[in-house]
Structure 1
Amino acid sequence: MGSSSKKYEGAVSWCAFGDAEEGDVTRAILRPNGELVLDLTTQGYVYSVALKEKSVQEYIGNWFCLDNGVESSGTARATLYRGTRGDMLYGSWSEDGRYQWWVELVEVENFRS
């Protein structure tokens, strides 16, 4: 990877036992040091995710969500798949059970907000 951070926006989805949730990636930054941070929104909730590259394209870390002054958190892991029309994360998400989650990432010059 180059010496500058990559910025992304996109969509996020979670699925467990047939139930699915969808949301937006309002910002994601892939830093040269292997850190990948994302801000996600779904159903009025805002999640902050901090992942660190464990091995080539394999990321592991934690998520945090503040709801009415109560913070919840859990673990997340994902593999980063690169493509010509965008990148994708796919992995597991721990929150009141285990979910599969995937994130479609589109590189942007600047964030919308």
Structure 2
Amino acid sequence: MKLPVVLQSNSTECGIACITMIANAHGRNCSIGQIRRDLGYARMGTSLRTLIDLARDVQLHARAVRLEPEEAGALRTPCVLLWGTQHFVVLKRISRRGWHLHDPAAGVRFYRNA
């Protein structure tokens, strides 16, 4: 599955950008602007509940789970992660070497396993 990188245009769009990346990876042709306009999502930031609703609005399966980093191998990818306390990123995959992320604020990122 090809996962595009979608960059946020302001500091509050990380959640919408993440859903846009995953939706496009699943064959939906959408943009941040289209999601905001057509589905009525504002620029004020996205809560976890709103992000789940947004994913379902674009016909994606969504649920919240809490896990420790060593449990992340059980996740189906791509998926959205809450990174820190206020930023969403897309986990593309986990390899033996580390985590492959698409960060809507910074592009493609790689974090080595500890």
Q: Same fold, TM exceeding 0.5?
A: no
Which structure's residues are more often strand, by fraction? 1
Which structure's residues are more often helix, by fraction? 2
